[in-house]
């Protein structure tokens, strides 16, 4: 503002009133100058002319010819004097006009300081020219000071532009480059002079579709809002690939539309975030049923994708019994295929993310890698990296003494890197990566990132392979367990079949024997009806016994249908006691019942629970001698009710009391061995438990535990988790 104020002061300091006064003075001065020259030139000449004419008038001896010559001489004198005077005046006037024209032309060119030595002060016009040159000097000082300040501002602006971390270009409506800052030129290795006036194709190997759409949108909306694009894949004309965030803005300069594209290179940050995400994804999917090849493939995708390290090709080799074997490879098989991949990347409308393919691309590169194998005793660059646990960077394969012809032929590239995969100080394999098709040099930063990625990938692969081994062992254990269960089932079926056969055979043998007696007595001349009737009665009893055996087996094996309602267990106990009251009196067995009258109702099947209590009563009666007693108690807590049967009988003869609940286990002569097994089945179907044990003071105790309705769902959840 200072420079503009100064300029305004010098230009506008002459008011209009002062200008009018000066104009009046200039006019008066001109009139005085005219009168002065009239007096100075014409009056003396007029006096001289009158004097000469007077002399001629008073002399009579002067002839006419002399008179004419005198008059002519005076006229010549007068004209000559006028000529020389006006020539002098005209010369200085023309010279001053020429100087004035020169000053004006120089002012138009912006040159305000001229040489004053060419102007000779001989009249008022020369003084005006001198004053005009003085004003020019003052104006030049003002312009010079403004120019210096503008240069300073331009220098500051240039420093600001050059110090911006982002790289940007400016294009016109035809998408031709107008300006590219120094940062952009360095990043994409182009010269500004060579790209100015050319299209975006002179900057990028391919123009990203998202970038094109963003430019079109900004042009269409004419700068209402800037367009921001995240994670855009760009590749320079020299095939250098970066991931960037773009901001596309619209502006107008001198009435012409222009678009500013600001490019923020986020390749390093994005690569680190991407590696973390892909490793997290791999670790999360390790437990899934994925093939080993798929896991290897996903790891190499992180090495080759533009979102990750961006190598053209990546190969994975694993150690297997002192042999280095090729396992997986990711990358194009030809330059045309690489171009196709890059073009497909440029056409995506979404942010760059890795979409894991359903099917692995099985090209020539993968076949070549999977056909490769080398003994760890071989001396080549691959085995050297394994043995020494060090990375190998090959910059010039054809002149590198560490490489043999086999490796050169296998790689078919001049520059590549071999990275060992180390997990728990153990080398499990190597990753080999190169840029065969875009021929971009491998930077030390890319090698360091690959080293970090390889270390983390090695840890995941080691864990994954260990997980596979554990799963294999678990599968073997499951198969063995299934075989054991199957054999136990077959053994149980054998025991059941043997027991049923034994139980059925005895009645059948008896029935067959008495049937033969009936036939024998029938064939006699006078049949003994009494013997026949006795034999028939025995056959009937044995058939009833056989039916009972089969009924018990059917009841145990067939699925039960329960009608669950809220029932009072005390009521079921009393009802069962009334059924067996006469039997208890006959055997002189006393029954004591301590039933909790506040016992909550439980959701149960009345008839099935009555069958349970009937079996327990009958079992206690069979085990208790005459004069003994049976004690029945009920109680509850916050989650369960408990029913206890205590007898003073002979106790449980088996070493393991739980064996009495096994099917067909019995110590009775006439028993089938399904009573207590059926009891356990019914209690289990009611989400309860039953167990038995011998008491120190003699006899046995059976305990039933059934969940209350409020805790039944918790019991179900616990059983499902188990």
Name the DSSP class of 622: H
pLDDT, residue 20, reads 52
Whole-number average pLDDT of the chain: 76
Residues 224-251: pLDDT tens digits?
678 888 878 787 777 677 778 888 888 8
Comparing C-alpha atoms, which of 267, 200, 237, 273 is closest to residue 440? 237
Instruction: Decide: helix, strand or coil at residue 222.
Output: coil
Terminal CA-CA length for the chain: 84
CA angle in degrees (0–180, nearest 5) for 203-206-211:
85
User: What is the average per-residue pLDDT within 263-284?
Assistant: 67
Higher per-residue confidence, 717 vs 440: 440
User: What is the average per-residue pLDDT within 418-447?
Assistant: 86
Please give the C-alpha separations between residue 605 and each of 561, 562, 609, 618, in angstroms, as whole numbers.
9, 6, 6, 20
Given a cut of 70, whether residue 486 has pLDDT beyond it is yes
pLDDT band at 416 (very low <50, low <70, confident <90, very high): very high
pLDDT band at 5 (very low <50, low <70, confident <90, very high): very low
**Domain over 559-721 is classified CATH 3.40.50.720:** no
Given a cut of 70, whether residue 108 has pLDDT beyond it is no
Most confident of the following: 141-155, 296-310, 693-707: 693-707
Instruction: Decide: helix, strand or coil at residue 380.
Output: coil
Higher per-residue confidence, 134 vs 641: 641
Residues 645-657: pLDDT tens digits?
999 988 887 676 7
pLDDT, residue 3, reads 36
Higher per-residue confidence, 67 vs 283: 67
CB neighbour list of residue 577: distance below 8 Å, 6 or more residues apart: 591, 593, 617
CB neighbour list of residue 293: distance below 8 Å, 6 or more residues apart: 327, 328, 360
* Helix H or strand E segment including 403: none
Given a cut of 70, whether residue 395 has pLDDT beyond it is yes
Query: How many whole angstroms separate alpha carbon 54 and alpha carbon 48?
Result: 10
User: What is the average per-residue pLDDT within 285-306?
Assistant: 70
pLDDT, residue 430, reads 94
pLDDT band at 277 (very low <50, low <70, confident <90, very high): low
Lowest-confidence pick of 302-306, 336-340, 587-591: 336-340
User: What is the average per-residue pLDDT within 387-402?
Assistant: 91
Given a cut of 70, whether residue 295 has pLDDT beyond it is yes
pLDDT band at 348 (very low <50, low <70, confident <90, very high): very low
Most confident of the following: 5-14, 243-252, 345-354: 243-252
pLDDT, residue 12, reads 38
Query: How many whole angstroms separate alpha carbon 306 and alpha carbon 274?
Result: 10
CB neighbour list of residue 336: distance below 8 Å, 6 or more residues apart: none
pLDDT, residue 158, reads 56
pLDDT, residue 96, reads 63
Name the DSSP class of 664: T
Query: How many whole angstroms separate alpha carbon 596 and alpha carbon 602?
Result: 14
Comparing C-alpha atoms, which of 618, 637, 607 is closest to residue 702? 618
Given a cut of 70, whether residue 386 has pLDDT beyond it is yes
Instruction: Please give the backbone phi and psi of residue 372, each rounded to the nearest 5 degrees, phi first.
Output: -85, 135
Contacts of the segment 651-657: beta carbons below 8 A, 24+ positions apart: 651/623, 651/694, 651/695, 651/698, 651/699, 651/700, 652/692, 652/693, 652/694, 652/700, 657/691, 657/692, 657/693, 657/694, 657/700
Comparing C-alpha atoms, which of 329, 304, 305, 302 is closest to residue 318? 329
Say if residue 277 is exposed, middle or buried (CB neighbours under 10 Å; 0-12, 13-18, 19+): middle
Given a cut of 50, whether residue 2 has pLDDT beyond it is no
pLDDT band at 318 (very low <50, low <70, confident <90, very high): very high
Q: CB 525: neighbour CB atoms within 10 A?
A: 4
pLDDT, residue 347, reads 44
Comparing C-alpha atoms, which of 657, 546, 680, 663 is closest to residue 608? 680
Where in the chain are the domains?
A: 2-145, 164-265, 274-558, 559-721
Chain-centroid distance of CA 59 in Å reads 131
Comparing C-alpha atoms, which of 246, 258, 251 is closest to residue 170? 258
pLDDT, residue 307, reads 52
Residues 204-218: pLDDT tens digits?
877 777 888 888 888
CA angle in degrees (0–180, nearest 5) for 72-73-78:
100
Tell me which architecture the domain covering 274-558 has in CATH: 2-Layer Sandwich (3.30)
pTM: 0.44
Given a cut of 60, whether residue 476 has pLDDT beyond it is yes
Comparing C-alpha atoms, which of 688, 609, 696 is closest to residue 641? 688
CA angle in degrees (0–180, nearest 5) for 540-546-548:
105
Q: Name the E strands within 335-493.
A: 373-375, 392-394, 416-423, 426-434
Higher per-residue confidence, 435 vs 98: 435
Given a cut of 80, whether residue 133 has pLDDT beyond it is no
Please give the C-alpha separations between residue 181 and each of 176, 241, 265, 346, in angstroms, as whole numbers.
15, 19, 15, 24
Entry field: residues in the chain: 722
pLDDT, residue 390, reads 92
pLDDT band at 354 (very low <50, low <70, confident <90, very high): very low
pLDDT, residue 19, reads 46
Residues 675-701: pLDDT tens digits?
788 888 888 888 899 999 998 888 899
Higher per-residue confidence, 38 vs 324: 324
Comparing C-alpha atoms, which of 444, 380, 385 is closest to residue 415? 444
Q: Name the E strands within 354-425.
A: 373-375, 392-394, 416-423
Tokens of 270: 């994005």
User: What is the average per-residue pLDDT within 323-330?
Assistant: 92
User: What is the average per-residue pLDDT within 157-167?
Assistant: 58
Name the DSSP class of 226: -
Instruction: Please give the backbone phi and psi of residue 705, each rounded to the nearest 5 degrees, phi first.
Output: -125, 120
Query: Which residues in 46-76 are b (16+ Cβ under 10 Å) and which e?
Result: eeeeeeeeeeeeeeeeeeeeeeeeeeeebee
Higher per-residue confidence, 294 vs 569: 569
Lowest-confidence pick of 64-73, 278-287, 548-557, 707-716: 278-287
pLDDT, residue 574, reads 92
Given a cut of 70, whether residue 394 has pLDDT beyond it is yes
Given a cut of 60, whether residue 11 has pLDDT beyond it is no
Same fold, 164-265 and 274-558: yes
pLDDT, residue 284, reads 58
Residues 608-647: pLDDT tens digits?
888 888 888 888 888 888 889 999 999 998 889 999 999 9
pLDDT band at 17 (very low <50, low <70, confident <90, very high): very low
User: What is the average per-residue pLDDT within 433-458?
Assistant: 83
Query: How many whole angstroms separate alpha carbon 182 and alpha carbon 177?
Result: 14
pLDDT, residue 245, reads 86
pLDDT, residue 14, reads 41
pLDDT band at 535 (very low <50, low <70, confident <90, very high): confident
Higher per-residue confidence, 224 vs 660: 660
pLDDT band at 481 (very low <50, low <70, confident <90, very high): confident
Query: How many whole angstroms separate alpha carbon 461 and alpha carbon 455?
Result: 10
Comparing C-alpha atoms, which of 369, 352, 348 is closest to residue 360? 369
Alpha-carbon radius of gyration of the chain: 60
pLDDT band at 540 (very low <50, low <70, confident <90, very high): confident
Percent of the chain with pLDDT over 70: 64
CATH number corresponding to 164-265: 3.30.450.20
Contact by Cβ (8 Å): 234, 144: no
pLDDT, residue 207, reads 75
- Which residues are 236's β-sheet partners? 204
Higher per-residue confidence, 324 vs 321: 324
Percent of the chain with pLDDT over 90: 15
């Amino acid at each position: 503002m200072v420079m503009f104020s100064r300029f305004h002061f010098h230009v506008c300091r002459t008011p209009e009133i002062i200008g009018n006064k000066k104009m009046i003075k200039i006019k008066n001065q001109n009139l005085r100058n005219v009168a002065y020259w009239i007096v100075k030139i014409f009056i003396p000449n007029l006096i001289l002319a009158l004097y000469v004419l007077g002399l001629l008038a008073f002399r009579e001896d002067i002839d006419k010819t002399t008179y004419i010559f005198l008059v002519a001489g005076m006229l010549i004198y007068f004209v000559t004097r006028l000529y020389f005077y006006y020539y002098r005046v005209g010369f200085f006037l023309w010279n001053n006009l020429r100087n004035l024209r020169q000053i004006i032309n120089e002012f138009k060119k912006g040159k305000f300081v001229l040489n004053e030595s060419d102007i000779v002060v001989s009249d008022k016009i020369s003084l005006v020219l001198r004053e005009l040159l003085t004003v020019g000097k003052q104006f030049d000082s003002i312009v010079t000071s403004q120019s210096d300040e503008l240069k300073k501002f331009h220098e500051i602006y240039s420093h600001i532009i050059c110090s911006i971390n982002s790289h940007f270009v400016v294009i016109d409506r035809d998408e031709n480059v107008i300006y590219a800052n120094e940062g952009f030129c360095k990043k994409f290795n182009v010269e500004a002079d060579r790209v100015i006036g050319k299209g975006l194709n002179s900057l990028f190997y391919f123009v990203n579709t998202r970038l094109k759409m963003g430019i079109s949108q900004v042009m269409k909306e004419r700068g209402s809002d800037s367009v921001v694009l995240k994670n855009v894949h760009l590749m320079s004309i020299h095939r250098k690939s970066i991931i960037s965030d773009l901001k596309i803005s619209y502006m107008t300069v001198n009435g012409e539309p222009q678009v500013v594209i600001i490019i923020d290179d986020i390749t390093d940050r994005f690569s680190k975030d991407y590696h973390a995400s892909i490793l997290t994804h791999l670790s999360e999917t390790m437990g899934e049923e994925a093939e080993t090849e798929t896991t290897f493939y996903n790891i190499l995708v992180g090495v080759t994708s533009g979102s990750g390290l961006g190598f053209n090709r990546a190969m994975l080799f694993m150690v297997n019994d002192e042999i280095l074997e090729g396992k997986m490879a990711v990358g194009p098989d030809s330059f045309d295929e690489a171009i196709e991949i890059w073009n497909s990347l440029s056409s995506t409308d979404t942010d760059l993310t890795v979409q894991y393919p359903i099917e692995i691309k099985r090209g020539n590169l993968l076949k070549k890698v999977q056909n490769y194998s080398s003994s760890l005793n071989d001396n080549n660059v691959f085995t050297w990296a394994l043995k020494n646990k060090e990375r190998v960077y090959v910059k010039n394969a054809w002149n590198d003494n560490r490489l043999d012809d086999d490796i050169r032929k296998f790689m078919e590239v001049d520059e590549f890197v071999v990275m060992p995969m180390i997990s728990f100080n153990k080398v499990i394999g190597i990753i080999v990566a190169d840029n065969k098709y875009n021929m971009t040099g491998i930077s030390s930063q890319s090698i360091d990132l690959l080293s970090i990625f390889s270390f983390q990938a090695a840890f995941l692969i080691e864990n994954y392979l260990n997980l596979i081994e554990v799963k294999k062992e678990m599968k073997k254990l499951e198969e063995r367990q299934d075989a054991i269960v199957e054999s136990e089932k077959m053994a149980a079926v054998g025991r059941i079949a043997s027991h049923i056969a034994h139980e059925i055979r005895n009645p059948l043998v008896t029935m067959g024997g008495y049937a033969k007696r009936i036939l024998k007595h029938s064939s006699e001349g006078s049949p003994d009806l009494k013997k026949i009737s006795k034999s028939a009665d025995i056959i009937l009893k044995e058939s009833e016994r056989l039916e009972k055996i089969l009924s018990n087996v059917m009841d145990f094996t067939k699925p039960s249908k329960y009608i669950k309602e809220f029932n009072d267990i005390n009521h079921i106990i009393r009802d069962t006691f009334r059924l067996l009251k006469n039997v208890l009196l006959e055997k002189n067995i006393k029954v004591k019942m301590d039933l909790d009258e506040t016992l909550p109702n439980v959701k149960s099947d009345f008839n099935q629970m009555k069958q349970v209590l009937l079996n327990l009563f009958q079992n206690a009666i069979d085990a208790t001698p005459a004069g003994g007693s049976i004690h029945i108690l009920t109680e509850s807590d916050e989650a369960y009710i408990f029913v206890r049967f205590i007898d003073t009988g002979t106790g449980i003869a088996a070493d393991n009391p739980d064996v009495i609940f096994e099917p067909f286990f019995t110590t009775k002569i006439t028993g089938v061995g399904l009573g207590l097994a059926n009891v356990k089945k019914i209690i289990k179907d009611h989400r309860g438990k039953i167990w038995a044990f011998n008491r120190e003071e003699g006899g046995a105790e059976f305990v039933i535990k059934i969940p209350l309705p409020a805790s039944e769902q918790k019991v179900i959840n616990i059983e499902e988790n188990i």
